[in-house]
């Protein structure tokens, strides 16, 4: 089974300070790495959410030793109010959200997140609902597709890539990651050796689009802060600039800076924390992680 190495667990535990009385929310439980660290540090109760059923299966195995202190729920983290209300929980003692794509999703067969294998072009985090990337690419206009690739992938060759995709689908549908990656690479001019594959940014953009990820981040942050007890903290790990910008902006607004609203939180990280050199050497996927934390005031 594919394993996933959780990022910055020491920092997450340090900010959330779990105790036997704590009820903590792991909003993107994934393989269970952060929940395991919190439970091992003494958290009395952890509720783990994820919209990926495969992730929940792995988390259940990872957290089996703490089965009496953990509950796993198949849901989107934007629905945390429903989860807490159903359990008569008014406030929680802390929350963590890891917004990155896990190794389970990247390496899992038939998920469509990676261009390293030729497989069905799915890209849904929750495969039980919604349209696949192949479905959406069938009907999207060239202009909208170019905007998506530019905005979510920060890809400057977005218009050429979109044109190539739309021209190709007239002849045949785009149904696999291999087809899509080939079309993207044709739309990116070659200028010697590049550090990343030319398809990387576009695959990121399409994944964000398929799962409506960025809208979900802001909605989640505003919801989770309302459920924190006074003095409780939320920790967010992001892995690309678009997500981090949203976290920074929302925390700033909720802290009362730049507006007339009263402060709800205190931002604990003036700048995002980054993984140590030791951690990135051991786990290269951690290198792009940024951690921000905030504390509920009252």
Residue 206 CA to residue 201 CA, distance in Å, equals 9
Q: Do 191 and 240 belong to one domain?
A: no
Report the predicted TM-score, pTM, of the whole model to 2 decimal places.
0.88
Task: Give the strand pairing for 45-50 and 23-26.
Answer: parallel
Q: Do 133 and 94 belong to one domain?
A: no
Per-residue pLDDT tens over the stretch 13-61 = 999 999 999 999 999 999 999 999 999 999 999 999 999 998 999 999 9
Q: Do 185 and 247 belong to one domain?
A: no
Our count of domains for the chain comes to: 2
Q: Do 143 and 61 belong to one domain?
A: no
Per-residue pLDDT tens over the stretch 129-141 = 899 999 999 999 9
Q: Which domain holds residue 168?
A: 113-211
Q: Do 18 and 90 belong to one domain?
A: yes
Per-residue pLDDT tens over the stretch 92-122 = 999 999 997 765 655 666 788 888 889 999 9
Q: Do 180 and 123 belong to one domain?
A: yes
Q: Do 205 and 260 belong to one domain?
A: no
Which has the minimum average pLDDT: 19-28, 47-56, 192-201, 266-275? 192-201
Q: Do 94 and 223 belong to one domain?
A: yes
Helices (H), 154-240: 158-171, 177-187, 200-211, 213-227
CATH code, domain carrying 149: 1.10.150.170
Ramachandran sector of residue 245 (left: φ over 0; alpha: ψ -120 to 50; beta: rest): alpha
pLDDT above 60 (res 250): yes
Chosen domain end from 191, 211, 231: 211
Predicted local confidence at residue 102, as pLDDT: 61
Chosen domain end from 161, 176, 211: 211
């Amino acid at each position: 089974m594919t394993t996933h190495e959780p990022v910055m667990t020491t920092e997450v535990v340090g900010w959330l300070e779990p105790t036997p009385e704590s009820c903590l929310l792991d909003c993107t439980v994934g393989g269970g790495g952060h929940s395991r660290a919190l439970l091992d540090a003494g958290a009395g109760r952890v509720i783990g959410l994820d919209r990926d059923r495969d992730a929940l299966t792995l988390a259940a195995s990872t957290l089996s030793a703490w089965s009496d202190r953990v509950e796993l729920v198949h849901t989107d983290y934007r629905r945390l109010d429903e989860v807490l209300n159903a359990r008569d929980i008014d406030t929680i003692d802390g929350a963590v959200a890891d917004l990155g794509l896990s190794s389970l999703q990247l390496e899992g067969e038939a998920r469509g997140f990676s261009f390293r294998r030729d497989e069905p072009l799915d890209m849904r985090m929750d495969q039980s609902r919604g349209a696949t990337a192949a479905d959406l690419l069938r009907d999207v206009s060239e202009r909208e597709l170019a905007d998506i690739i530019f905005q979510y992938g920060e890809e400057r060759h977005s218009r050429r890539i979109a044109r190539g995709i739309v021209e190709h689908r007239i002849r045949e549908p785009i149904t696999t990651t291999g087809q899509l990656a080939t079309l993207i690479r044709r739309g990116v001019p070659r200028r010697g050796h590049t550090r990343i594959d030319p398809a990387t940014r576009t695959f990121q953009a399409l994944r964000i689009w398929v799962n409506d990820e960025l809208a979900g981040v802001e909605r989640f942050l505003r919801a989770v802060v309302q459920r924190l007890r006074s003095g409780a903290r939320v920790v967010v790990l992001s892995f690309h600039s678009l997500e981090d910008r949203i976290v920074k902006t929302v925390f700033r607004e909720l802290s009362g800076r730049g507006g007339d609203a009263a402060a709800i939180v205190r931002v604990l990280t003036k700048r995002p924390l980054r993984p140590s050199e030791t951690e990135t050497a051991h786990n290269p996927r951690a290198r792009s992680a940024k951690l921000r934390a905030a504390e509920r005031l009252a």
